[in-house]
Amino acid sequence: MKMDKILLIDDEEDILEVLSLSLRSDGYDVITAASGEKGLEAFERESPLIVLTDLRMPGIDGLDVLKRVKNTNPDAEVIVITGHGDMDSAIDALRYGASDFVNKPVREEALQIALKRAKEKLVIREKLRAYTLDLENMCHIAIGEVKRKSDFQDKLITSSNDGIVATDENGIIVVFNPGAEAIFGVSRIEVVRKTDFANLFPPEIADVFSLMFKSGKDMGDVGWKEITICRKNKSDVPVRFSTTLLYDGEDIIGSVGFFQDLSEIKHLEQELVKSERLAAIGQTVARLAHYIKNILTGLKGGTYIVNIGLDKNDTDKLRAGWCMVEKNVGRISSLVFDLLAYSRERAPEYRSCHPNDIVEDVCELMEGMAMENQIKVVRDFGPRVREVSMDPDMVHRTLLNLVSNAIDACIFDYDNTKQHEVRVKTRLEKGNIIRFEVADNGCGMDEEVRSKIFTAFFSTKGGKGTGLGLLVIQKLVYEHGGSIDILSEVGKGSAFTVRLPYRKVP
Amino acid sequence: MSRRVLTVDDDPDITMFVKTVLEENGYTPLVARNGEAGLSMARDESPDLIILDVLMPKQSGIRMYRELKSDESLKNIPVIILSGIAKRTFLRSQEALTEFGDQPIPEPDVYMEKPVEPLELAETVKGLIG
């Protein structure tokens, strides 16, 4: 910036000369003009930053020069030279933007002070301009950044699938995105700046907001809440919502709520439950139907063979056919029993009984079937097992099932080198418990089968099993306060241990 | 010599019933209790017809049927599937195996769902092997 260039305007040639000599000797670059007109021309041409002008001049006077200079370059410093005692003009000049005035005759010191001030002003103004420019740039950048961020946030809010509703510190709705429109069934225009949360939200949510505003505390750990929103003229929407207060430092400046529409999820959940239930029913029915078909086939087959026996007077056929009929009638009744036992709660019926006798009865019942398949039933009854009070039907049912399973395990074992046997054991244990053990050396179970044996309708016996037997046994044992444990190894056999608490006979 | 029919089923009632029907109608019955035994008996005895159950312990009828139909010496023996499961289910299980990379195999000659009438069974057998 050229602060050393001074335009000096005065119609008095001698003053012009003296002053310019003096200023030049002070190191200024001085341009002189002998009239207002010439001064303005020089100003246009040379663009000095400091103008020193006499006020009283013919033609364009000092005040005009001042006005025009200020008009052209408001930053230019104009010092006016006034006649002695012409204070009014000086004040006029100052009013029009002169930076200072010096009286005639111009004294060296006064002029130097005025020039120094003018230069300082120029420097300060220049600095200020630089600062302002900087500030404006920064502002511009910052505004751009803020705008970008706000655009981004706007888009974020607008395109969010979740409903977003924000209020100011008075609870007036200020943000209401399309997600919120969909959930609440009202448009943005209807609510933004027109209503507060209490009018928009159902009471459960409004209460949360009021409490939050009142206490100045967020929902905190509560996090997401599930509620149902009733829309005007529309179906209810299940939503999850969460809300938080917005702060500027310590001050609450508003709140925001996030709403997630759960309709689709709820709908899918219901579908899933329904389809799972249908699948379970379907599976149950299919398995039952299959099992019953087998029984029916047995009954039909039996009747057919009985008829042939009758026609031909063949007692062997008659016996074989009748045997089939009886067996399948038995299968049906045990199926019905299993189904009922499985689906119904049953309290044990305690009666006096001799557990060893019950187990002996089971062994006798199953021995025929065992012998048919070359399987030995080995009895190992504890002599200290005496008369006790427990549910004899339950014990009978349990042991019958376990022994029958053990025999099947031997039949399904194709290792013909083994002498298959089923070992039935009873023992008295501490704490009024009787241990029943049924062990076989049949086919055994692998881990997969072992993990499924208490699953409803799971059977390894092809069409022969209901897949309910062990499940029913487990239920009966638990109802009796007992426990059931299994040891099994593929190819070696299985051992089922049932422990049942008893009561002493009164 | 009378025609020989192999019946494969784990349920002794069924084999007893089928065996009687076959005998009554002049066929010679052979009996196996699972797929594995059934297959080796089929190889050893070359029966004229096989009546096969589907759900059996050890090898199932689903597998045994595939083995039969992929064995050059056995694939021409007609097969009656006699099962408690629906035909649809059986065919779907075969399709599933085919999808897993096995060769596609022909449908069984006859599919009968349990329970089966003796007369119907006898006539079906007669229809297939005379």
Contact A503, A389 (CB under 8 A): yes
pLDDT in tens, A163-208: 899 999 888 999 999 988 888 888 899 889 998 888 888 887 888 8
Q: Which residue of B has its CA nearest to A312?
A: B24
What integer pLDDT is reported at residue B104 of this predicted model? 81
CATH numbers and ranges of domains, chain B: 4-129 (3.40.50.2300)
Contacts of B84 in chain A (CB under 8 A): 289-291, 293-294, 297, 463
Q: How far apart are CA A204 and CA A391, in angstroms?
A: 55
Mutate to test the interface with B, among A283, A290, A460 (most CBs of B within 10 A): A290
The minimal CB distance from A293 to the residues B18, B56, B114 is found for B114
Fold of A5-131: Rossmann fold (3.40.50)
What integer pLDDT is reported at residue A457 of this predicted model? 66
For the record, the structure tokens of A470 come out as: 């062990």
Per the document, the length of chain A is 506
Contact A174, A222 (CB under 8 A): no
Q: How far is A474 from chain B (nearest CA, A)?
A: 24
Fold of A160-261: Beta-Lactamase (3.30.450)
Instruction: Give A77's strand partners.
Output: A50
Q: Would you tell me how many other CB atoms lie within 10 Å of the CB of residue A193?
A: 10
* Mean of the per-residue pLDDT values of chain B: 88
Which residue's entry shows tokens 């996090």? A223
Full 3-state SS string of A346-366: CCCCCEEECHHHHHHHHHHHH
Using DSSP bridges, classify how beta strands B79-83 and B49-52 pair: parallel, antiparallel or unpaired: parallel
Judged by a CB distance cut-off of 8 A, whether residue B52 touches chain A is no
Q: Would you tell me how many other CB atoms lie within 10 Å of the CB of residue A109?
A: 8
What integer pLDDT is reported at residue A141 of this predicted model? 87
For the record, the structure tokens of A88 come out as: 């009014």
When pLDDT is averaged across residues B72-86 and rounded to a whole number, the result is 90
Task: For chain A, give every domain's residue range.
Answer: 5-131, 160-261, 266-336, 345-501
Among the listed residues A401, A410, A390, the one whose alpha carbon sits nearest the alpha carbon of residue A468: A401
Instruction: Give A261's strand partners.
Output: A239
Yes or no, beta carbons of A464 and B11 under 8 Å apart: yes
CA distances from A358 to A119, A334, A353, A388 (A): 124, 18, 8, 12
What integer pLDDT is reported at residue A439 of this predicted model? 96
Judged by a CB distance cut-off of 8 A, whether residue B112 touches chain A is no
Instruction: Give B29's strand partners.
Output: B5
Contacts of B39 in chain A (CB under 8 A): none
What integer pLDDT is reported at residue A256 of this predicted model? 87
Yes or no, beta carbons of B17 and A460 under 8 Å apart: no
Contacts of B17 in chain A (CB under 8 A): 297-298, 300-302, 304-305, 324
Contact B30, B6 (CB under 8 A): yes
Q: How far is A461 from chain B (nearest CA, A)?
A: 6
One-letter amino acid of A256: V
pLDDT per residue, tens digit, chain A (506 aa), is 567 899 999 988 888 888 888 888 888 899 999 999 999 999 999 889 899 999 888 889 899 999 999 998 888 899 998 886 778 888 888 888 888 888 888 888 888 888 888 888 888 888 888 888 888 888 888 888 888 888 888 888 888 888 899 999 888 999 999 988 888 888 899 889 998 888 888 887 888 888 888 887 766 545 677 888 877 666 788 888 888 888 888 888 888 888 888 888 888 877 877 777 777 677 777 777 878 888 888 898 899 999 999 999 999 999 999 998 998 898 888 888 878 877 777 788 899 999 999 999 999 999 988 998 899 999 999 999 999 999 999 999 999 999 999 999 998 887 878 899 999 999 999 889 999 999 999 999 988 888 878 776 677 765 566 677 888 888 889 889 999 999 999 989 999 999 999 998 87
- Taking only residues 75 to 104 of chain B, the set having a beta carbon closer than 8 angstroms to any beta carbon of chain A reads 84-85
**A11-17: long-range contacts at Cβ-Cβ below 8 A with a sequence spacing of 24 or more?**
A11/A35, A11/A54, A11/A57, A11/A58, A12/A54, A15/A54, A15/A104, A15/A106
Yes or no, beta carbons of A298 and B113 under 8 Å apart: no
Judged by a CB distance cut-off of 8 A, whether residue B22 touches chain A is no
For the record, the structure tokens of A281 come out as: 């029913």
Instruction: Give B81's strand partners.
Output: B52, B111
Q: Would you tell me how many other CB atoms lie within 10 Å of the CB of residue A364?
A: 10
Q: How far is B69 from chain A (nearest CA, A)?
A: 22
Q: How far apart are CA B112 and CA A338, in angstroms?
A: 29
Instruction: Give A256's strand partners.
Output: A166, A244
Contact A414, A483 (CB under 8 A): no
The minimal CB distance from B11 to the residues A294, A299, A300 is found for A294
Contact A493, A441 (CB under 8 A): yes
Judged by a CB distance cut-off of 8 A, whether residue B17 touches chain A is yes
**Which residues of A fall below an 8 Å CB-CB distance to B?**
289-291, 293-294, 296-302, 304-305, 308, 317, 320, 324, 327-328, 412, 414, 460-464
What integer pLDDT is reported at residue A130 of this predicted model? 86
Which of A328-332, B45-49, B110-114 is most confident?
B45-49
Q: How far is B43 from chain A (nearest CA, A)?
A: 19
Q: Which residue of B has its CA nearest to A317?
A: B20
What integer pLDDT is reported at residue A377 of this predicted model? 95
DSSP H or E run through A424: strand A421-429
The minimal CB distance from A294 to the residues B18, B84, B117 is found for B84
Instruction: Give A258's strand partners.
Output: A164, A242
CATH number (3.40.50.800, 3.40.718.10, 3.50.50.60, 3.30.565.10) of A345-501 reads 3.30.565.10
What integer pLDDT is reported at residue A280 of this predicted model? 67
Neighbour order of strands in the sheet with A77-82: A29-33, A5-9, A50-54, A77-82, A100-103
Judged by a CB distance cut-off of 8 A, whether residue B113 touches chain A is yes
Q: Which residue of B has its CA nearest to A309?
A: B20
Contacts of A291 in chain B (CB under 8 A): 84
Contacts of B114 in chain A (CB under 8 A): 293-294, 296-297
pLDDT in tens, B1-25: 789 999 998 888 888 899 999 999 9
A to B CB pairs, distance under 8 Å: 81
